[in-house]
Amino acid sequence: MVGCVTLALGEQKPIPAKADLEIEGLTRPVEIIKDRWGISHIFAQNKDDLFFAQGFNVASDRLFQLELWRRQATGTVAEILGKKAVQRDLGARLLKFRGDLRKELDSYHPQGQEIVSAFVRGINTFIDLARKNPELLPIEFRLLGITPGHWTPEVVVSRHNGLFRNATTEIRLAQAVRAIGSEKLGEFLDLHPGNPDLRPADGLDLSLITDKVIELYEEARSPLQFAPDDIVESAARASTMASRASAALLPFLAEPVPSLSQGSNNWAVSGRLTGSGFPFLANDPHRALQIPSLRYWVHLVAPGWNVIGGGEPALPGVSIGHNDFGAWGLTIFSTDQEDLYVYDTDPDHSARYRYSGDWQDMIVVSEKIPVKGAAPFEATLKFTRHGPVIYEDSEHHKAVALRAAWLECGCAPYLASLRMDQAKNWPEFREACFKNRTPSLNMLWADQKGDIGWQTTGLVPIRKNWPGLLPVPGGGKFEWSGTVPASELPSLLNPESGFVATANQDNIPEGYPHELGFLWADPFRFLRISEVLGSGQTTSLSEMMNLQQDFLSLPARRLVPLLKDLRASTPLAQKAVEMLRAWDFVLSPESGAAAIYVAWERAVLDNLKNVLLPEAARAVLGQLPLLKAIRWLEAPDTRLGPIPEAGRNRLLLHSLEEAVELLAKMFGPDQARWRYGDSRFHHVRLRHPLSGGLRDEIRRRFDLGPYPRGGDGQTVNNTSDGDNQTSGATFRIIADLADWDRSVGTNAPGQSGDPKDPHYSDLLNPWLEGQYFPVYYSRAKIESAAEKTIRLVPIKLDR
């Protein structure tokens, strides 16, 4: 066992490069080879030891991340953050799965209970080791004055990490309908397919649908942030003023109508279009950028298992990757899996609500929430037949409950990928997809037999008398009529085009009989991917990498030509027009024209919104859908003035002058010095969760950046639309089915969560430069790149 050593603040003693660790809980030895990119290749002799070792290994790299995950899942954040986190914990407990745990675990895999239990035991074994040897604890525990807690299977099946969004959207749409009416709202939204009805249900008082309705829901799902008073080490603690200035605080309900900026891309290319005759599969999920990365690469090998790829560190298995037979990847398929129900409550008994003409009792659960520095909070949790009560209005005798598909059995995000990890062909993979219930996904498959396929997944409610876009009365008239059978969800095998791609766009086949959802990402990423893959040319691995890194802006290719015959009123703005006309539409970080375009596009959208939207709806709806805005500008109507084209042109030039003025203030008047990728404009700065609480010199050991970035939220390489890139693809994979050892990947900033570990940020610069590391799969290649080898051996009980 590792001896106990006293270390200075910030030093976490690593496990030696070659070591045997005697571990209680194993039945046979396990070998873990960590390669030079920080990927652990785990070789076990049976399933239980394999997933035990996966848990132990990830805890050794990501223990603080796992601790935050555990606390968010269990509603125990207030235990370390005090009273300010009580509402978060209350929301988390309301949104927990509370059904049959055995049935829940076995829904993900025939041996789901055994797999999850082994994984949890492995995490807890490392936690016990670190508790006995504090030098193994990451610095964050010392800064906060806490120790890691033990895991249970309930933590693994938590729903807090899912990409769910419709409840917030219902609130915003209800507020917008109240502001401008359903017909006018329908003109501004880009809802499809069909023309869903936005009229509120009879009996729904929209004046009562305020932000307060969704506060608990949002609190439970918001990123954890720490302040100076959370840091117990006074030498590391920031002043309150410095913390406010430096912390990347996310505003509550920052996006009025949540967009799909945290979308993803994936595509599979048939061997007919590749030089090798074998398919490629590429995937780059776009999620919030954070330290450490949201995903973690691992390779799992045991009898019946040989899978490599990435997934959430807190889950066993691999959610995106490949095995011996095929590769798979995912993007979000934007179905509507949530509904808000508004009830009348009994004025004399707030735990009673009216349903089908009668008063019904809510289920009431009492729990104690531990609170740092205070007595436990006595929480009263209420549940209706539809789900948890997330808001009560005692003045008007109303209550709001959330019905969510993801609270049903078998709906822990991504855990059903355990079945995908063992799929040998398209039929087996498709069957595995049917078990993935949340989030709803576009799953792509490619195998060595040459098949490529697309299968959508998710538990999708059938609503017969309303579209699910607004809250509805909970009295019994608006009920789900079952769910869409998984086998009837859209799918496609071996398309004639030779490729299949998704990018969160509306890809519901024409004439499809079920209503699945109406809010989708703008199609520009998908259209660009299709443009490149549909060129008819033979493609290669390097071209797959180039496409994932693509910064060409299709919106720019449509908007810039509108300036063709226009002349600006100032020399600086006219020079900007000329630079845009000569530009190649690529949002490269070193481009001045790209800076002009992005600043101009933002001004155009703001000014167009001010012209088209009544003031009462602007704050509620946020930015106009970009595709719809472009269409309005390409074919203007009298809303832009009595002579529509003249009004359109004035708006374009005025917006350009505003953009140039902004850039001149930012960079100075010399346009040759303007750059899009700059710390003052488009960049990426990665912040550690403790960042807001730390002194500058300590924070610099945790935070990374700023670094210049290209692209935006509509380029294939999605770098989000704000100045600071807050979401995008830090994890990428391109699987080469001709030779698994030629597959490549990324994972920024690195595999480790320890700031002193070289693997904390060693993958960041390659990611910034658009470079990849090899994802080795064969034993020989793995050994050729080995950096560390650890043997976990069963403890000898007879010593």
Q: Average pLDDT of 107-114?
A: 98
Instruction: With a cut of 60, say whether residue 7 has pLDDT above it.
Output: no
Q: Which amino acid makes up residue 416?
A: A
Which residues, listed in sequence order, are joined to residue 487 by a DSSP beta bridge? Answer: none
Q: What percent of the chain has pLDDT over 90?
A: 91
Q: For 272-317, write each residue's pLDDT tens digit.
A: 999 999 999 999 999 999 999 999 999 999 999 999 999 999 999 9
Distance CA 294, CA 640 (A): 44
Distance CA 590, CA 592 (A): 7
Residue 710 contacts residue 676 (beta carbons within 8 Å)? yes
Which residues, listed in sequence order, are joined to residue 276 by a DSSP beta bridge? Answer: none
Q: For 746-780, write each residue's pLDDT tens digit.
A: 999 999 999 999 999 999 999 999 999 999 999 99
pTM of the model: 0.95
**Nearest Cα residue to 67 out of 140, 161, 133, 157:** 140
Q: For 121-158, write each residue's pLDDT tens digit.
A: 999 999 999 999 999 999 999 999 999 999 999 999 99
Query: For position 617, what pLDDT does the model report?
Result: 86
Query: For position 248, what pLDDT does the model report?
Result: 37
CA-derived radius of gyration, the chain: 27
Q: What is the DSSP string of 130-199?
A: HHHSGGGS-HHHHHHT--PPPP-HHHHT-STTS---HHHHHHHHHHHHHHH-HHHHHHHS---SS----P
For the chain, what is the mean pLDDT? 94
Query: For position 746, what pLDDT does the model report?
Result: 99
Q: For 26-39, write each residue's pLDDT tens digit.
A: 999 999 999 999 99
Instruction: With a cut of 60, say whether residue 250 has pLDDT above it.
Output: no
Handedness of CA 80, 85, 88, 93 (dihedral sign): positive
Is the peptide bond preceding residue 292 cis, with omega within 30 degrees of 0? Answer: yes
Instruction: With a cut of 50, say whether residue 494 has pLDDT above it.
Output: yes
Instruction: With a cut of 50, say whether residue 13 has pLDDT above it.
Output: yes
Q: For 76-102, write each residue's pLDDT tens digit.
A: 999 999 999 999 999 999 999 999 999
Domains of the chain in sequence order: 554-586+592-673 (1.10.1400)
Q: Average pLDDT of 711-728?
A: 97
Q: Does residue 162 or residue 581 have the better pLDDT?
A: 581
Instruction: With a cut of 90, say whether residue 614 has pLDDT above it.
Output: no
Distance CA 634, CA 691 (A): 45
Instruction: With a cut of 70, say whether residue 2 has pLDDT above it.
Output: no
DSSP H helical ranges for 502-540: 524-533
